[in-house]
Amino acid sequence: MNSNKIAFFSIDVEDWYHLEYFTNADKNLNPSITLDGLNNYIELLEKYDIKSTLFLVGTEAEKIKLSIDKLLSRGHEFGYHSKNHKLVSKISDELFIEELDYAFNFYAKYNITEIGYRAPCFSLGKSKLEILKNHKSFIYDSSFINQPQHPLYSPLDLSGFKKTNDGIYTKNGFYEFEVSTEKFLGINIPISGGGYIRLLPWFIYKFLLKRYLNNHNTYSFYIHPFETSSIKLAPPQGTSILTRIRFNYNRRKVLTRMEKVIKILKKADFKFMTYKDYLNEDIN
C-alpha cells in the first residue's frame, strides 16, 4: 500500500452550459470558456510542477484536440467525463455502454488504452459502477463523494471493495477514488474544490481543509473551466437570482484560492500525482 501523503488535482473539462441548471440554455449566448479556463488551470499547476488529471466531456474534444498531445507530453493524464454531460443516473445501461465505447475509440487515437472515469455530478450509482468496472478500458473511477444530502449525487455501494488507503478502494484490479469531504455541524462538506471553494467563506474552507489534512493522507481536488476562466459571463435570461449567484460568485478568486490550497498541501508534505501515476506506483 502506498503510504505517502498524496494529493490529486483534476479538472472536469466541460463548458458553462453543461451545468445542470443550464441544461436548456442556448449555448451560443455566451462564449466557450473551456480553453480559457483550462489554460489558466494548467498554467497555475505547472508553476508548481503539478501534473493533473483532465476528465474530458466528449463534446469538448474538438475544442481542445490540438492541446491533447501537448498536455500528455507534459505529464498530464486524460480521463472521461461522459459524452455530453448527461446525468448517468438518468440514462439507460445500453446508452451508458455506448458512451464508454465512444471513449475507448476516441482515446485509442492517442494510444490511451487504460482510462479513468468521473460521472457528471457524481451521478454514477451502483449498477453503472458495475458496468464501468467490467468494461475493457476503464481501470478506475472518481465518482464517490460522501454527501448523501445532495439531490444530484448518486450514492455508491462499495460492497466487496477493499480499502487500500485513505479514500482509495479496489476490487478485482479496479480502483475507486473518493472525493474529499470533512464533517462540519454533522454534515459532510466537500473541501475538494468545485463550487465549495467559491461559495464557502475562505476561513471556513481553510479550517476544514487543514483539519481534514491532519487526519488523512490522501486528498482529491477538482474544478471546472468556467470557475478558472477569466471571461466575464452573464447567465441566460430567465436564470433565477440564486443560480446567478451560485454561477458567478467568487469566480475571480478561484485561482488565488487554488494557489493557497497548493501551498497548504506542500507545507503539509503532500506529494502531487495523477490518479494513473498513483496506480502505476501502487501496483508496481
16-67 pLDDT, tens digit per residue, is: 888 777 766 666 667 788 889 999 999 999 999 999 999 999 989 888 988 9
- CB-based burial label for 152 (10 Å; 0-12, 13-18, 19+): exposed
Q: Are 124 and 88 in contact (CB under 8 A)?
A: yes
- Checking if the pLDDT of 101 tops 70, the result is yes
All three cell numbers of 278, joined, read 498513483
Contacts with 263 (C-beta within 8 Å, 6 or more apart), sequence order: none
CA distance 117 to 137: 10
The stretch 258-277 carries a mean pLDDT of 97
Query: What percent helix, strand, coil does the chain show, rounded to 5?
Result: 45, 20, 35
- CB-based burial label for 151 (10 Å; 0-12, 13-18, 19+): exposed
Task: Give pLDDT, residue 1.
Answer: 41
Calculate what percentage of the chain has a pLDDT beyond 70: 93
pTM above 0.85, yes or no: yes
Which tens digits make up the pLDDT trace of 107-132? 999 999 999 999 998 999 899 999 99
Instruction: Give the SS3 label for residue 53.
Output: strand
Task: Give pLDDT, residue 185.
Answer: 86
Instruction: Give me the helix-helix angle, 61-73 and 34-47, nearest 10°.
Output: 20
Among the listed residues 123, 117, 175, the one whose alpha carbon sits nearest the alpha carbon of residue 147: 123
- Which residue's C-alpha cell is 486524460? 78
Neighbours of 26 (CB within 10 A): 10
Element (H or E) spanning 280, and its range?
helix 275-283
Task: Give pLDDT, residue 239.
Answer: 76
Calculate what percentage of the chain has a pLDDT beyond 90: 70
- Which residue's C-alpha cell is 503539509? 268
All three cell numbers of 172, joined, read 478485482
Task: Give pLDDT, residue 2.
Answer: 47
Q: In terms of CATH architecture, what is 6-283?
A: Alpha-Beta Barrel (3.20)
Q: Which of the four pLDDT bands, split at 50, 70 and 90, describes residue 242?
A: confident
Task: Give pLDDT, residue 151.
Answer: 56
- Checking if the pLDDT of 92 tops 90, the result is yes
**Domains in the chain: boundaries:** 6-283
CA distance 2 to 13: 28
Among the listed residues 151, 154, 195, the one whose alpha carbon sits nearest the alpha carbon of residue 16: 195
Segment among 83-87, 146-150, 212-216 with least mean pLDDT: 146-150
